[in-house]
């Protein structure tokens, strides 16, 4: 059967359609046309299939039962019919060349992502041949379509399953989500139908699903019949998740919060938790301005500072990893001489110790907060925390403040200080939801390291959630559901239970290698900072350390660490990893991590200033000491050197020459030296760097910041700073290709390396090594075992052609849900 062009335009393959669903042929095979006119003619004889008021698309059912879908433009469903006029009625029989609809090209072009119009075989047939790319006139040949042979009747199966789900898509079951549902079901043989409004539709038919007219938020019943029905329905769970009344991020609706509602934010630490809201508000401590006896106040302040320092040191003795680093930093900060000097000056003017301390800490924190510097903003928050701790001691209270948490507490707050998170009862804390904050903030990193689900940048609406309200925190998707109905709450408890069971099973299997279904080895390393973290990572299945952060040795102190101190610490970490490789990143200071003993002039934009390898080369004495310390670690060769913020070969060659001198002095062999690809310059020059570096490591946090021109600390833009943006992915592909061409390993060590949704795309781009947070390693290894590299490659190609990071996220989640469904149908946990 011949299908002809419905209008004049440019014919192009589906793969070039600027939409991942159509480009991946999820909605069906066919072609696309870029129109030159606004009248759409029938491409063949047939009957108009009802599509519940859709005026931007039309489906024809031919006499042989083949359904041909014409979807005018991309994302035109958002226009809600504006600019379109249907000229044929549902159920009407038309002949080839009859007018089906007209549209205002200018109006539609302004509101749509593109005018490109897919013409696809939605069901009942397959494309036998098609026209080449190029210009066509209305009525020209497009493709030959043959009817599909009827599938052989499957053997009777008693296995049936059904679940009620809510439709979360903004415009209901239109083409794109309907196609995603059909695509998710491809690995399964079960018959799946979706029922709504008293009617049912084949879930594999895009047109049938669209004909239901289901809108966003409606509940549907999904039924499956067949041996793998349970797996098929599980695969749809990630797409048809329970959906409640949305509350926009940064806004609130009167009366909405506290009743069934959903608040969206940015996922900072993944997980699913069901619990009760525990509101945390930091109230200012009342103090007296004037001192009762000014002569006694300096000694009172010094005793209070000593008490807080002792408290921090006691906490540090029981802490490890990121928590230990933070507590050491606070202990150093509370004794800052400038802070004490300012406070004593205030006391000398007759102020109380509490007033003087508050005046000093606030003056310093306000000046730090005003800097265009993420690290300094963190330090400003730390100062506010220390302000309260010292004042509490002056008032005769314990340094730590904190409320007693209920069981399964979901802490709700405007923002959260790292020390507050450290002080919380881990047995009672189920999750955190914040109005402000960013996914790469210090407290977010702490939450991820401890496996605590955390949502940030959710806006002020989150602050209206009532104390004790039942909530579901889902940071797999990036939302919190407030007081959900009983069925949704039961489903969430089930999902949380599954996640807990998965974590146990993942940890049990974590010591084994991570091999894809087709036998490709993927190395999963850990990002580390201390020996204790190294021991935890080893127990979680880490195959080495892909990124050892060394700046904790250089920051928050008055003098640099000695060569011996560094060598001892690196040696402890290497020993804890029991011979596994360690990539030691040289001090990544400057920019957002300045150090007091290296005074630098104020920079308008520290992220573009003296940081990373630039700062190290400006202080060659410190660099030589660090390189020598690395060389002293035994056994020789376990430690590799990783250089941050490299832009070009000259920087690499300069450091290699210094390292070679240090190696000769120590009578050691030159260690492997790799570079971090964190700037567009390094990505573009990856072929040059790969020719001389021993390995490459992609730091996706900074790379995303520089490629997308979005500050990592910008709360309002936190949701848009996504390493899965197609522009960032193209950079990663170039680096992976350069590494492969020169036989050098390429790792991803930024937050993207811990992102289970990104894993399949990274593998498809040619990355076979990631370095992740310890908590995410077991899950990443499990996900690797569910993937096929060929399918990953196809997914990566679709991601590279996607129009946005959000579209890539949709593709990634679909791939993960399909993997989960297949695993469950085979009796596996995921």
Please identify every residue annotated as catalytic: 442, 749
Give counts: helices (H), strands (E), the chain.
26, 35
d(CA 418, CA 434) in angstroms, rounded, equals 13
Structure token digits, residue 366: 């306000």
Question: Is the bond into 250 cis (omega within 30 degrees of 0)?
Answer: no
**Residue 54 Cα to chain centre, angstroms:** 34
Q: What are phi and psi of 526, to 5 degrees?
A: -120, 145
Q: At what angle do helices 620-631 and 563-576 cross, to 10 degrees?
A: 40
d(CA 775, CA 755) in angstroms, rounded, equals 11
In 3D space, the residue among 435, 487, 495 whose CA is nearest the CA of residue 461 turns out to be 435
How many other C-beta atoms are found inside a 10 Å radius of the C-beta of residue 602?
A: 9
**Residue 618 Cα to chain centre, angstroms:** 35
d(CA 492, CA 502) in angstroms, rounded, equals 15
Look up tokens 């640099």; give the residue.
560
For 196, half-sphere exposure in the C-beta direction (CA atoms, 13 angstrom radius) is 25
How many other C-beta atoms are found inside a 10 Å radius of the C-beta of residue 102?
A: 16
355: left (phi over 0), alpha (psi -120 to 50) or beta: alpha
d(CA 807, CA 795) in angstroms, rounded, equals 12
Cα–Cα distances in angstroms (integers) from residue 590 to residues 527, 587, 640, 825, in the given order: 20, 9, 22, 51
For residues 550 and 514, the answer to whether their CB atoms sit within 8 Å is no
Classify residue 126 by burial, with Cβ atoms within 10 Å: 0-12, 13-18, 19+. middle
756: DSSP letter? H
652: left (phi over 0), alpha (psi -120 to 50) or beta: alpha
d(CA 629, CA 689) in angstroms, rounded, equals 25
Classify residue 370 by burial, with Cβ atoms within 10 Å: 0-12, 13-18, 19+. exposed
d(CA 444, CA 453) in angstroms, rounded, equals 9
Q: What is the dihedral of CA 417, 423, 425, 430, to 10 degrees?
A: 20
In 3D space, the residue among 796, 817, 823 whose CA is nearest the CA of residue 185 turns out to be 817
> What are the residues facing 103 on neighbouring strands?
84
The angle subtended at Cα 793 by Cα 789 and Cα 798, nearest 5°, is 145
DSSP 732-749: HHHHHHHHHHTT-EEEE-
> What are the residues facing 696 on neighbouring strands?
675, 746
For residues 368 and 381, the answer to whether their CB atoms sit within 8 Å is no
3-state DSSP assignment of residue 375: helix
Sheet holding 199-202, edge to edge: 160-166, 219-225, 191-196, 199-202
For residues 616 and 672, the answer to whether their CB atoms sit within 8 Å is no
723: DSSP letter? T
For residues 145 and 1, the answer to whether their CB atoms sit within 8 Å is yes
């Amino acid at each position: 059967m011949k299908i002809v062009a419905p209008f004049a335009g440019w014919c192009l393959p589906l793969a070039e359609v600027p939409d991942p669903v159509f480009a991946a042929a999820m909605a069906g095979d066919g072609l696309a046309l870029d129109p030159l006119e606004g009248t759409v003619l029938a491409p063949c004889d047939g009957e108009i299939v009802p599509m519940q008021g859709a005026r931007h698309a039309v489906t024809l059912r031919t006499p042989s039962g083949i359904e041909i879908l014409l979807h005018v433009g991309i994302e035109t469903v958002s226009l809600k019919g504006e600019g379109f006029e249907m000229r044929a009625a549902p159920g009407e029989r038309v002949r080839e060349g009859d007018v089906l609809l007209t549209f205002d090209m200018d109006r539609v072009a302004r509101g749509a992502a593109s005018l490109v119009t897919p013409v696809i075989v939605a069901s009942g047939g397959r494309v036998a041949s098609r026209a080449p790319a190029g210009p066509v006139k209305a009525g020209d040949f497009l493709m030959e379509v043959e009817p599909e042979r009827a599938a052989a009747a499957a053997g009777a199966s008693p296995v049936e399953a059904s679940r009620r789900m809510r439709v979360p898509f903004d415009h209901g079951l239109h083409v794109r989500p309907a196609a995603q549902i059909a695509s998710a079901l491809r690995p399964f043989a079960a018959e799946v139908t979706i029922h709504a409004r008293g009617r049912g539709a084949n879930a594999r038919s895009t047109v049938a699903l669209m004909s239901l007219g289901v809108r966003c938020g409606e509940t549907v019943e999904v039924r499956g019949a067949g041996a793998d029905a349970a797996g098929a329905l599980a695969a749809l769970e990630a797409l048809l998740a329970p959906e409640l009344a949305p509350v926009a991020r940064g806004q609130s609706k009167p009366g909405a919060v506290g009743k069934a509602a959903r608040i969206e934010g940015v996922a900072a630490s993944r997980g699913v938790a069901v619990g009760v809201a525990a509101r945390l508000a930091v109230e200012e401590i009342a103090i007296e301005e004037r001192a009762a006896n000014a002569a006694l106040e300096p000694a009172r302040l010094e005793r209070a500072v000593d008490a807080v320092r002792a408290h921090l040191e006691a906490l540090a003795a029981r802490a490890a990893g990121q928590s230990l680093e933070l507590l050491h930093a606070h202990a150093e900060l509370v004794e800052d001489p400038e802070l004490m000097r300012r406070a004593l000056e205030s006391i000398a003017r007759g102020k109380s110790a509490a007033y003087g301390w508050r005046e000093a800490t606030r003056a310093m924190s306000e000046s730090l907060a005003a800097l265009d510097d993420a690290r300094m903003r963190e330090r400003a928050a730390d100062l506010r925390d220390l302000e309260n701790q010292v004042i509490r001691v002056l008032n005769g209270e314990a340094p730590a403040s904190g409320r007693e948490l209920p069981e399964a507490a979901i802490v709700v707050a405007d923002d959260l200080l790292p020390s507050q998170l450290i002080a919380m009862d881990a047995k009672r804390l189920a999750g955190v939801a914040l109005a402000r904050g960013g996914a790469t903030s210090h407290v977010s990193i702490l939450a991820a390291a401890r496996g605590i689900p955390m949502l940030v940048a959710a806006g002020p609406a989150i602050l209206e959630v009532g104390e004790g309200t039942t909530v579901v925190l889902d940071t797999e998707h990036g939302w919190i559901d407030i007081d959900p109905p009983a069925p949704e709450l039961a489903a969430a408890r089930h999902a949380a239970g599954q996640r807990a069971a998965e974590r146990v099973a993942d940890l049990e299997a974590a010591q084994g290698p991570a091999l894809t279904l087709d036998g490709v080895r993927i190395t999963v390393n850990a990002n580390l900072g201390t020996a204790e973290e190294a021991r935890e990572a080893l127990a979680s299945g880490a195959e080495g350390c892909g990124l050892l952060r060394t700046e904790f040795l250089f920051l928050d102190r008055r003098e640099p660490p000695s060569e011996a101190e560094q060598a001892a610490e690196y040696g402890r970490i290497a020993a804890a990893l029991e011979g596994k490789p360690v990539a030691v990143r040289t001090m990544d200071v400057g920019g957002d991590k300045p150090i007091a003993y290296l005074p630098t002039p104020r920079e308008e934009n520290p992220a573009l200033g003296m940081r990373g390898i630039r700062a190290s080369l400006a202080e060659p004495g410190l660099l030589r000491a660090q390189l020598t310390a690395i060389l002293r670690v035994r056994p020789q060769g376990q430690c590799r050197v990783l250089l941050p913020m490299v832009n070009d070969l000259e920087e690499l060659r300069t450091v290699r020459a210094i390292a070679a001198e240090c190696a000769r002095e120590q009578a050691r062999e030159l260690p492997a030296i790799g570079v971090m690809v964190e700037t567009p310059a390094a990505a573009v020059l990856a072929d040059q760097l790969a020719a001389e570096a021993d390995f490459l490591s992609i730091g996706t946090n900074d790379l995303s910041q520089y490629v997308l021109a979005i500050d990592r600390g910008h709360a309002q833009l936190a949701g848009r700073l996504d390493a899965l943006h197609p522009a960032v992915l193209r950079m990663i592909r170039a680096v992976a290709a350069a590494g492969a061409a020169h036989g050098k390993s390429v790792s991803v060590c930024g937050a993207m390396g811990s992102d289970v949704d990104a894993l399949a795309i990274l593998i498809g781009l040619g990355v076979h090594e990631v370095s992740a947070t310890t908590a995410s390693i077991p899950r990443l290894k499990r996900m690797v075992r569910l993937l096929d590299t060929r399918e990953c490659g196809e997914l990566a190609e679709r991601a590279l052609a996607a129009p946005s990071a959000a579209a890539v996220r949709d593709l990634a989640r679909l791939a993960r849900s399909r993997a989960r469904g297949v695993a469950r149908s085979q009796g596996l946990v995921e």
